[in-house]
Amino acid sequence: MTAPRYRWQPTTAEIAERYGLDESDVIRFDHNTSPFSTDWAPALIAPMARRLNEYPGALYSEIREAAAGYLGVDSEMVVPGAGIDEIIGLVANAFLGRGQRATAVTPTYPMYQIASLQRQAEFVSVSYEPDFVFPAGAFGEAAQTSDVTWLCVPNNPTGDRVPDDIVASIIEQARGIVVIDAAYAEFAGDVWARWVERYDNLIVAHTMSKAFGLAGIRVGYSISAPKIADRLDSVRPPGSISSISAELASVALGEPQRMQRRIMRLAKEKSRMSAALTQLGIQPRPSETNFLLCDVGPQSGDIAGQLLTKGLVVRHFPDDHPLVNFLRFTVRAPHENDRLIDALWRQLS
């Protein structure tokens, strides 16, 4: 069987060229990335540019120590990777293979299924119940027979956050490893360190791409019991993170105040954007993330297509997807969000 591939989105440059726009006029509401520039980074990069002829230290001790300090865990519990995507791949390589089973809910981040099937494991998908109710009973049963249970908390693309008691129940029922994808943890105020100390079958994956606003450096990391961390390290490639990326990630982890201030600004802007969408008759779903998921009906594809011609790139879903009638909007800077609201008003009025 051929494993599915991740569907890459067109680049900003490609969109601009296709629609005759300037790149600066294209706004990515589809990537859940930060609207804030990394104006603090160039001063760090310039001195490092003189040392790019050498390989990075393959252990990435600086990331391990910085992440450990940020989360309050031992550095031996941390495994670095090129974004959460590589962490997902490491988990699949370490714990899945032919004859083994993985499970996740639907809809969720597609890389869980892709990584599982690429390892020729069986993949069990458990659908959300009506009105986006998390399928706690059915998912717990599936976890009982799974070697890897994937759980996105808060969930992408729905934006909801599974309650703690359900998360604990799933971990306790699971036959094998449970992976919490905590890409949006900072937006939800989640702290998973004590959970990892409590459960020796738990891996929590973090990223620098979302709240820290460093999607371009492609750095993520996991925390788990040292025995599991060692297993992940055994299948980790030696140099997948560049020297510059490792340095920037370490500095950002050591200075989380910048990230926390920006989260507060985004939370305020999310409330404003949600109210504006509601006034247009588009009711956003409750979200513990930096994006809003909205049911716009059967015209979702047409709306997304018209917005695209104006350089406003929103997330829409394929015809066979359970969210086919929905659009997902990343919360960006106020003036960018105003462009989106104005375009939607003109299109829907």
Q: What average pLDDT does range 5-10 have in this prediction?
A: 79
Q: Tell me how far the alpha carbon of residue 286 is from its chain's centroid.
A: 17
Number of domains in the chain: 2
DSSP string, 194-226: HHHHH-TTEEEEEESSSTT--GGG--EEEEE-H
312 falls within a domain: yes
Give pLDDT, residue 76: 98
* pLDDT tens digits along 125-159: 999 999 999 999 999 999 999 999 999 999 999 99
| Predicted TM-score (pTM) of this structure | 0.96
Last residue of a domain, one of 192, 222, 254: 254
User: Residue 2 — very low, low, confident or very high, per pLDDT cuts 50/70/90?
Assistant: low
Considering the domain architecture, whether residues 215 and 287 belong to the same structural domain is answered as no
* pLDDT tens digits along 39-70: 999 999 989 888 899 999 889 999 999 999 99
Considering the domain architecture, whether residues 141 and 160 belong to the same structural domain is answered as yes
Q: What average pLDDT does range 66-84 have in this prediction?
A: 98
Strands (E), the chain: 27-28, 78-81, 101-106, 122-127, 148-152, 177-181, 202-207, 220-224, 291-295, 312-313, 315-316, 326-330
Considering the domain architecture, whether residues 62 and 25 belong to the same structural domain is answered as no
5 falls within a domain: no
Cα-flanking dihedrals φ and ψ of residue 76, to 5°? -70, -10
Q: Structural domain of residue 187, as residue ranges?
A: 54-254
Give pLDDT, residue 4: 72
Last residue of a domain, one of 254, 277, 292: 254
Considering the domain architecture, whether residues 122 and 135 belong to the same structural domain is answered as yes
Considering the domain architecture, whether residues 276 and 230 belong to the same structural domain is answered as no
* pLDDT tens digits along 179-194: 999 999 999 999 999 9
Across the chain, mean pLDDT equals: 96
Give me the percent of the chain exceeding a pLDDT of 90.
Answer: 94
Please say if the pLDDT value at position 73 is more than 80.
yes
Considering the domain architecture, whether residues 74 and 62 belong to the same structural domain is answered as yes
Last residue of a domain, one of 199, 228, 254: 254
46 falls within a domain: no
User: Residue 3 — very low, low, confident or very high, per pLDDT cuts 50/70/90?
Assistant: low
Please report, for the domain that includes residue 274, its CATH number.
3.90.1150.10
Considering the domain architecture, whether residues 120 and 161 belong to the same structural domain is answered as yes
Considering the domain architecture, whether residues 88 and 233 belong to the same structural domain is answered as yes
Please say if the pLDDT value at position 332 is more than 70.
yes
Please report, for the domain that includes residue 211, its CATH number.
3.40.640.10
